[in-house]
Amino acid sequence: MRYLPIAFDVQNRPCLIVGGGAVATRKARLLYRAGARLWVVSPTIVAELKQLVNDSNGALFEATYCADYLHRAELVIAASDNAEVNAQVSADARARHLPVNVVDAPQLCTFTFPAMVERGDLAIGINSGGAAPVLARRIRAQVEALLSPGLATLVGLAARVRSRVKAALPEAQRRGFWEWVFSGPVASRVEAGKLAEGESVLLKALQDWAGRPPPTGEVYLVGGGPGDPDLLTFRALRLMQQADAVLYDRLVSPAVLDLVRRDAERIYVGKKKAFHSVPQGDINQLLVDLASKGKKVLRLKGGDPFIFGRGGEEIDKLAEHGIPFQVVPGITAASGCASYAGIPLTHRDYAQSVRFITGHLQEGSLDLPWGELASDGQTLVFYMGLTGLETICTELARHGLPAETPAALIEKGTTPAQRVIVGDLKTLPTLAKEKAVRAPTLTIIGGVVSLHEKLHWYQRDQSDFQAPVCDD
Per-residue CA distances from 239 to 53, 225, 232, 244, 334 (Å): 48, 15, 11, 10, 24
Is 23 among the annotated ligand-binding positions? yes
Residue 432 marked in a binding site: no
Q: Which long-range contacts (CB under 8 A, 24 or more apart) does 338-341 make?
A: 338/381, 338/410, 338/442, 338/444, 340/226, 340/228, 340/410, 340/413, 340/414, 340/418, 340/458, 341/408, 341/410, 341/413, 341/418, 341/420, 341/444, 341/452, 341/456, 341/458
Known binding residue 44? Answer is: yes
Is 20 assigned a ligand-binding role in the annotation? no
226 labelled as ligand-binding?
Answer: yes
Please tell me which residue in 104, 271, 289, 426 is annotated as part of the active site: 271
Q: For 331-453, list the strands marked E by DSSP.
A: 353-358, 378-383, 406-411, 419-424, 441-445
Read out DSSP for 22-68?
HHHHHHHHHHHHTTPEEEEE-SS--HHHHHHHHHTT-EEE-S---GG
Cα dihedral across residues 337, 342, 346, 350: positive or negative: negative
Q: Binding site annotation covers 14?
A: no
Alpha helices (H) along 258-409: 280-292, 311-320, 333-340, 370-373, 389-398
149 annotated ligand binder: no
Annotation-wise, does 302 bind a ligand? yes
Of 295, 305, 349, nearest to 327 by C-alpha is 305
Compute the C-alpha angle 413/439/337, nearest 5°.
20
Task: Give the phi and the psi of residue 277 in degrees, each rounded to 5.
Answer: -65, -35
C-alpha–C-alpha distance, residues 438 and 395, integer Å:
22
Contact 269, 248 (CB under 8 A): yes
Q: How far is CA 15 from the centre of its chain?
A: 33
Catalytic annotation present for 81: no
Helix H or strand E encompassing 119: strand 115-119
- Rounded Cα–Cα distance for residues 385 and 379 (Å): 15
Give the span between the Cα atoms of 289 and 133, in whole angstroms. Answer: 47
Phi, psi of 350 (to 5 degrees): -125, -40
Told to judge if 249 belongs to the known catalytic residues of this protein, a careful annotator would answer yes
Q: Say which of 249, 296, 412, 471 is annotated catalytic.
A: 249
Annotated binding site for NAD(+): 22-23, 43-44
Binding residues: 22-23, 43-44, 226, 302-304, 307, 332-333, 384, 413
Binding-site members for S-adenosyl-L-methionine are 226, 302-304, 307, 332-333, 384, 413
Which residues are known to be catalytic?
Answer: 249, 271
